[in-house]
Chain A
């Protein structure tokens, strides 16, 4: 019997023993089950991260030698920072690594800000004003989510060319600036804002712009936090788009730079994994900073599904 089998059997046995121990035992068993299930889920979720974290510090030959970290005695030979230094080592013909990082940071945050402004405007209008064609617009918006973006790639490329936008960041920022998902999300959130507030503001003489920005938007802030995270992550991890529309290395993004380590002839897993680890850090910081807004944001948005 392997250690793992013994552990699982022991854990299950403890649960059974508890549940046999009378009413008090059963209560204990419920709590025990709840926590062990959670621990199991968290453990399974974290295992790939743990593997990734260890792998990023291992030499190529040690990568698959031990599942996680090598025994202490082998640390000096099997562990290394070389994967990280390789990332930051200048390569002739390529911009330094921090340049990709900066590009990604700029593109992701700029795209997110643009989307927040434009999507919240459209969503607000669709939720809070009655006008001709609103139903049609709403139906169109929902329907547009069904169309796979890949179908539009070739025509979009042609359009980008005719606008003189090839090899710039415009095609990465503008076409996606009004995602249907975002408009839909903001509309749902705005529905929860009571109309009486708007009327009260109007009676006070507030302009429509002011009502949108200073009455409406503060009330959907939680949802805005959630939307920011999702949008930022989408742009941060986008891979094919940047490469199709942009050719200059200085303008490319982090995933593209990292993918270069998985070459045609050779695949440097260690460097790639080290880069993946680094690439997780900025969105993770964002998550920690936004977590309160994010979770409560979804709560308030959930009032209207």
Chain B
């Protein structure tokens, strides 16, 4: 009988590919290194690249080996969760983003996978060198589990050239009501084809980050300091009604410019004039739209009432030490090096435009440097001036849920607005209450968070 591969050509050729690729891999790979003394996991390529030189210097100084692992946020979270559940190996240090942290704080305090940093932070007076409100995002039941990486003050970036052409005096945009009024004169269909080609503002039409940012600015939020849902209070009613009028239906003044290249395109074409911009977004503008150099301006957010707060916050990262960490002292030292020393912070700011919460860094030359792209404005100082006013953003395990529910309520309000509803505030009160009650019900099921703060 003739000898042949029983399964035929297809698997045989794949077998050949596997063998070849395998051989190439064996030839080129180093053996897996033994586990480093500290494993530091994070979710952003930008962070990894910014930390690596400092981490290398730190490792050399202490004579240890440190590994910085980067993974997709979703994968990192799954891995940590499964790791905690199985008692499996987890990284020693982890950088988490805002909603992910809330999720890990679901259980009894002494069962959380992360080290309670409250004593260290208070003991070393760190809460005085970092804006106090920034710890809100990383606290549960009065205990702090992470050190904040950023402040993310939020302002408006606008097309200075187009705004000047239209004769808008940005000083007149003192309140959001002014924005709505002036916006209606600016938002027009210029070529008469039935499609509006210029809007005043960029806002996601589903609520989303725009709604949350404005709600925080108003003094509201998803949760209060006690960790209870509060997005059915009068702040939320006011913000939702305004937001529905601004972003939906006839008379809207906002275009959903979205993300990435779509955002760049809308900005370059001047489809919207003003964009909500936390510090980190300004760096993206610089990188994605070099051709807009000198054409963009920065403006604090219009207030909700004359004299009110003119900034908000969007997003956030913090660093935690896991309980499984084999050398918490060393880990804490590394955190200090990365988060609480000005060394290297200037370069990091210059490459990311992310203002560190460490107040001493706000005086660094890189932060105060006038940027040609922003027509000579010092982006760092601009945001640093807003930083002390940044509202506290209380995060709980139910933040993601509440966020979805806020958008759900908003959509109902916006649909009522589009249908010509006169008493929008009443609709808003009803819908927000329904959605907040849903979150309360979900929270009541948790058998672990009952203990007093």
Binding site for B on A (CB under 8 A): 60-61, 63-65, 91-94, 99, 102-103, 105-106, 109-110, 112-113, 116-117, 120, 153-154, 157-158, 161-162, 166-167, 212-214, 217-218, 221, 224-225, 228-229, 232, 240, 243-244, 247-250, 256, 259-260, 263-270, 289-290, 293
Contact = CB atoms under 8 A, between A and B. Distances in A.
A109 B18 contact: yes
Interface in B259-305: 259-262, 264-265, 268, 280-281, 283-284, 287-289, 291
A209 to B, nearest CB: 10
28 contacts: A63-B265, A64-B261, A91-B45, A91-B49, A102-B25, A105-B17, A106-B21, A110-B22, A112-B14, A117-B7, A117-B11, A157-B82, A157-B83, A157-B86, A161-B83, A161-B88, A217-B6, A217-B7, A221-B8, A224-B11, A225-B8, A240-B75, A243-B79, A244-B82, A247-B69, A256-B72, A265-B280, A266-B288
Given A102-B25, A250-B29, A161 B264 contact: no
9 tightest A-B contacts by CB? A243-B75, A158-B86, A161-B88, A157-B82, A267-B260, A106-B21, A221-B8, A213-B6, A109-B18
A93 B82 contact: no
A260 to B, nearest CB: 6
Interface residues of B, number: 63
A116 B21 CA distance: 19
B176 interface: no
Contacts of B52: 92-93
A154 B85 contact: yes
B74 interface: yes
A117 B18 CA distance: 14
A229 B9 CA distance: 12
A244 B8 contact: no
A212 to B, nearest CB: 8
Interface string B9-21: 1110111011001
B72 A259 contact: yes
A61 B268 contact: yes
B22 A106 contact: yes
A36 B6 CA distance: 43
Contacts of A224: 7-8, 10-11
B262 A64 contact: yes
B169 to A, nearest CB: 30
Contacts, number: 166
B92 to A, nearest CB: 13
B15 A61 contact: no
Given A106-B25, A213-B6, A214-B1, A61 B291 contact: yes
A91 B48 CA distance: 11
Contacts of A265: 44, 46, 280-281, 283-284, 352
Contacts of A64: 261-262, 265
B44 A247 contact: no
B393 interface: no
Which of B14, B25, B262 has the most CB atoms of chain A within a 10 A radius of its CB?
Answer: B14
A228 B43 CA distance: 34
Interface SS of chain B: helix
Contact of A105 (B8, B21, B81, B287): B21
Given A65-B265, A158-B88, A225-B9, 19 more contacts: A60-B264, A61-B268, A99-B28, A105-B17, A106-B18, A106-B21, A110-B22, A117-B7, A157-B88, A158-B82, A243-B74, A249-B69, A249-B70, A260-B45, A260-B72, A267-B259, A289-B13, A290-B10, A293-B8
Contacts of A162: 86
A64 B352 CA distance: 26
Contact of B48 (A61, A93, A103, A256): A93
A153 B78 CA distance: 9
A218 B6 contact: yes
Contacts of B284: 265-266
Contacts of A269: 260-261
A109 B48 contact: no
B21 A109 contact: yes
A162 B287 CA distance: 45
A113 B11 contact: yes
B24 interface: yes
A259 B72 CA distance: 8
Contacts of B71: 243, 247
Contacts of B289: 61
B89 interface: yes
A167 B79 contact: no
A232 B18 CA distance: 12
B320 interface: no
Given A102-B24, A158-B85, A120 B68 contact: no
B171 interface: no
Contacts of B44: 263-265
Nearest to B68: A93
A293 B10 CA distance: 8
Contact of A60 (B48, B87, B288): B288
A264 B25 CA distance: 30
Contacts of A61: 264, 268, 289, 291
B41 interface: yes
A113 B32 contact: no
A212 B7 CA distance: 10
B199 to A, nearest CB: 17
Given A61-B264, A110-B18, A218 B13 contact: no
A270 B52 CA distance: 26
B97 interface: yes
